[in-house]
Amino acid sequence: MLVDADPVRVAQVVNNLLDNACKFTPSGGRVSVSVGQESGEAVINVADTGIGMSREQLPRIFEMLTQVEDAPGDRTGGLGIGLSLAQSIMELHGGTIEAHSEGREKGSKFALRLPVSDSDAPGDDVAETGEAEVGQPVLKRIIAADDNLDTLHAVALLLRMKGHEVETAVDGVDALKKVQANPPDVALLDIGMPGMDWYEVARRIRREPWGQNVLLVATTGWGAQRDKQQAQAAGFDAHLTKPVDLDALERLIAAPRKGTVGNRDVPLH
C-alpha cells in the first residue's frame, strides 16, 4: 500500500503509541502492531494488554494535557500532550486516529488511518513528499517561548507543519535576545516564566521601531479579566489561555493587522 504522507511524522506518531503501550503495560504483557487495508484506507493498529481506559477516559484521551493514571512504571513521562499532537498530525495528512478499550485492565488499541494513494508505483512525487507538502507555504516567522518543554515543542512542531518558520526560547532573556537579533512576525510568550518578567519583554519589544509590527500573543494559564487587562497594558495584542486552542492561534496569526499597536485589529481573548 502507498500513502501520500510524511514518513518522519507518521513514524513519530507510531513511536508515540508504542511508547505509551509499553508504559501502560505491566511486565509479561503484550504489545502488537499490525497493518491492513479497509475501505480504501491504510490502517496501522497498535494494541496492548495493559491497564486500558475507562469509559469516562476515552472521550477525553486526545485532549491536550490529559493524562492516564496508574501507569505500572514511571508516571513522570510528560504532560499528556503526545496523543493530542498525534491526532493533529494525522488530521493534517487527511487521516484519523481512534482509541478503543473494553475498560480498565482490558488493554487498549489505537488505529491510525491514512488514505491509500492513487499512484500505482512510487515515483518522484511520492519520494519528495515531506513536511513542506503536509503543511502550507511559509507564512510567518514566529518565536515561541515557554519553560514547559513538552508544550513548547508540541506547539512549535504543529506551527511548522502549517508552514510557519518557528524559533523557540525557554526564558524571557533568551526570547528577547532572539527577537532583537531577528525580529519575528509573531511572538508567542508564556506569561509565567522564570527570568525576565514577560510583561517587561513585551514592553521592550514595543519600544523598538520594528516592535510595532510584531504580533504579541500571551499564552498563559491565567485567564481572569485582570490578567487580560495587564497583558494589554504591557503591549500584547492577544491573550490565549492554556491549553491553547491551535485553531484560534492560527486564526490570530492569519488575521490582517492594520496600523500600529495603538490601533490593533486583533482583540484580546
Highest mean pLDDT pick, 157-161, 214-218, 222-226: 214-218
Split at pLDDT 50, 70, 90, the class of 231 is: confident
% of the chain beyond a pLDDT of 70: 80
Q: What is the mean pLDDT of the chain?
A: 80
- Strand ranges of the sheet holding 186-190, from the earlier edge strand across to the other edge: 165-169, 141-145, 186-190, 215-220, 238-241
Q: Domain 7-115 is in which class?
A: alpha beta
Spell out the domain ranges in the chain: 7-115, 136-263
**Cell 522564570, residue?**
194
Instruction: Report the 3 state secondary structure along the chain.
Output: CCECCCHHHHHHHHHHHHHHHHHCCCCCCCEEEEEEEECCEEEEEEEECCCCCCCCCHHHCCCCCCCCCCCCCCCCCCCCCHHHHHHHHHHHCCCEEEEECCCCCCCEEEEEEEEECCCCCCCHHHHCCCHHHHCCCCCCEEEEECCCHHHHHHHHHHHHHCCCEEEEECCHHHHHHHHHHCCCCEEEEECCCCCCCHHHHHHHHHHCHHHHHCEEEEEECCCCHHHHHHHHHHCCCEEEECCCCHHHHHHHHHCCCCCCHHHCCCCCC
Give the integer Cα–Cα distance in Å for 233 and 231.
5
pLDDT at position 144: 93
| Structural contact between residues 268 and 239, judged by C-beta atoms closer than 8 angstroms | yes
- Higher-confidence position of 132 and 158: 158
Instruction: Encode pLDDT of 192-205 as tens digits.
Output: 776 777 888 999 99
List C-alpha distances in Å: 204 to 45, 52, 222: 50, 50, 22
Q: Which three cell numbers stand for residue 99?
A: 482509541
- State the CATH architecture for 136-263: 3-Layer(aba) Sandwich (3.40)
Split at pLDDT 50, 70, 90, the class of 120 is: low
169: pLDDT strictly greater than 50:
yes
Residue 170 sits at φ, ψ, to 5 deg, of -115, -5
Domains 7-115 and 136-263 share a fold: no
pLDDT at position 25: 93
Instruction: Encode pLDDT of 44-84 as tens digits.
Output: 999 999 999 888 888 888 876 555 555 555 443 444 457 88
Q: Which three cell numbers stand for residue 69?
A: 493514571
pLDDT at position 177: 93
% of the chain beyond a pLDDT of 90: 35
Residue 218 sits at φ, ψ, to 5 deg, of -85, 125
Weakest-pLDDT range from 159-168, 169-178, 216-225, 252-261: 252-261
Q: What is the pTM of this model?
A: 0.58
pLDDT at position 261: 40
pLDDT at position 263: 31
Q: What average pLDDT does range 95-118 have in this prediction?
A: 93
